[in-house]
Chain A
Amino acid sequence: MLNAVVDGAAGAHVLAVDAAPNPWFDAGYVVDNWPTIVGYLGQHVRLTVGAVVLGAAIALPMALLARRSRLLSGPLLGISSIVYTIPSLAMFAFLAPFTGALSATTVLVGLTLYTLVILVRNFLAGLQAVPGDVREAARGMGYGAVRLFLQVDLPLALPAFMAGLRIATVSTVALVTVGVITGNGGLGQLIIGGFNSNFYRAEIVTGALGCVVLALVADVLLAGAERLLTPWTRAVRT
């Protein structure tokens, strides 16, 4: 290490990037740039929550419709697997002429499409797993369509719904970073910002770690929500 520094100082062509310390993590950087980091973190959270909530709001009616007939569910799943194969950068690029190359809307719409695809599959799987006998019994007891959904379908399909929401949330947190192409990448801005400021590692690692921690926190929160919403599953287990 010392040798390298001495050699570097003695050598004729030494780059600033090699001579200056470039630590992998620097608490000083985090403290000094706290407001910036929180700003990007806020954008990251807003984009993730927005995409998951919008995706869920659209996916639920689609899944309910698709359950009614094979004619609808077949093409729906086919289209969704094609959408899922399109790389995110290409997705943002397709949307750019409509929503603007430098707007957060492009990122939000693109991410919503991906969460939609994940959620429709999981919602549909959850709804299809509700036993037909149970629904029939409920209908025989005089349940209307709304009550049937709220009191029979929803509780029984909830574990599948929550599993879908968790996968969608975690993968969206990772995907927001690709939004840097529009300048709205949440913590991804730190990753690319550090790359562009002479490969400043502390900034890159702060952004990357922030994403991972955010994903894990979101996953734990959703797991907790699932436990609270489905108290009966615990009663069975113990």
Chain B
Amino acid sequence: MNAFGEAFVYLNDPFNWVRPGGILDLTREHVTVSVLAVLAAAVFALPVGTALGVSGRGSGAVVVLSNVSRAVPTLALLTVFAVTPIGFSDTATVLALAIFAFPPILTNTFVGFREVDRDVREAATAMGMSRRQVVARVMFPLALPLVMTGVRTAGVQVVATATLAALVGGGGLGRIINLGFGQQDYAQIIAGAVLVAVLALLTELLLVVVSALLTPGQRRLSLPRTQRRTRGPRAAAVRV
């Protein structure tokens, strides 16, 4: 048993990377599907979360949604979409993943806008800002760190879940692991696991850096764990 050595050999073979359907192709598919899913979720979740957060209504519904979404297995949704008329394709995968990316973005956007200090809003209104200006120029920058936390949570989660698409005939890096298990080929299993884990960690790192760059004011790279511990009602990530 030297699966790790063999996995290293597998990963070192350029042919495994560049051949059609190889690692590069699968990675491209994995990333494309993930990005589309997060974008699709953000397009719906950001306006709804902003509207609810600004008005301060609907917190019950948001909490219920984020709790129930934790109980639904990602595998189930991926499979259910694959057996609808949409069929099993990247479209079905993107749809299923977008549904899973929706609650974290919505919850964090909602909390971000709701938690903006009332005094700050009032001061902005008193200075003659219109309602739209208050939302766009005052509330948005203040809510941005939490909004980005939502996007980061969703992004990492989607990249991780996209792996499961391989179990129901989809593409992405999960295929290597799935194939490895099918053939009892430990080298391939480990190689796939390394690729998937590295992609997930890189996604997290990238999004942490992006949100640090976008955040106005503080130029401090805040690690996810400190945010998770200090920012009270954040939606816990759904593990996949």
A interface, CB within 8 angstroms of B: 77-78, 81-82, 84-91, 93-94, 96-97, 101, 114, 118, 121, 125, 167, 170-171, 173-175, 177-178, 180-182, 188, 191-192, 194-195, 199, 201, 204-205, 207-208, 211-212, 215-216, 219
Contacts and interface: CB of A to CB of B under 8 A. Distances in A.
20 contacts: A86-B160, A87-B196, A87-B200, A89-B163, A90-B177, A90-B193, A90-B197, A91-B193, A93-B180, A101-B189, A170-B70, A177-B75, A177-B76, A178-B164, A181-B178, A192-B168, A194-B83, A195-B82, A204-B80, A208-B76
Interface of B: 1, 3-4, 67-68, 70-77, 79-80, 82-83, 156, 159-161, 163-164, 167-169, 174, 177-178, 180-181, 184, 186, 189-190, 192-194, 196-197, 200-201, 204, 223-225, 228-229, 236-240
A41 to B, nearest CB: 14
A87 B83 contact: no
A96 B187 CA distance: 11
Contacts of A207: 76
A228 to B, nearest CB: 21
B75 to A, nearest CB: 4
B87 to A, nearest CB: 9
Given A88-B239, A93-B190, A96-B186, A181 B71 contact: no
Contacts of A215: 70-71
A194 to B, nearest CB: 8
B74 A85 contact: no
Contacts of A94: 190, 193, 197
B79 A81 contact: no
A195 B168 contact: yes
B181 A97 contact: no
Contacts of B239: 84, 88, 114, 171, 174-175
Contacts of B67: 170
A174 B223 CA distance: 27
B213 to A, nearest CB: 20
B72 A181 contact: no
A65 to B, nearest CB: 18
B132 to A, nearest CB: 38
B189 to A, nearest CB: 5
B205 to A, nearest CB: 9
Contacts of A211: 71-73, 76
B75 A188 contact: yes
A77 B164 CA distance: 27
B189 A96 contact: yes
Contacts of A96: 181, 186, 189-190
Residue in A90, A101, A211 with the greatest tally of chain B CB atoms within 10 Å:
A90
B190 A174 contact: no
A215 B168 CA distance: 23
A78 B159 CA distance: 20
Residue in B79, B169, B204, B225 with the greatest tally of chain A CB atoms within 10 Å:
B79
A171 B238 contact: yes
A78 to B, nearest CB: 7
Contacts of A121: 228-229
Residue in B4, B228, B236 with the greatest tally of chain A CB atoms within 10 Å:
B236
Residue in B73, B163, B168 with the greatest tally of chain A CB atoms within 10 Å:
B73
A170 to B, nearest CB: 5
Contacts of B74: 174, 177
B224 A81 contact: yes
B80 A205 contact: yes
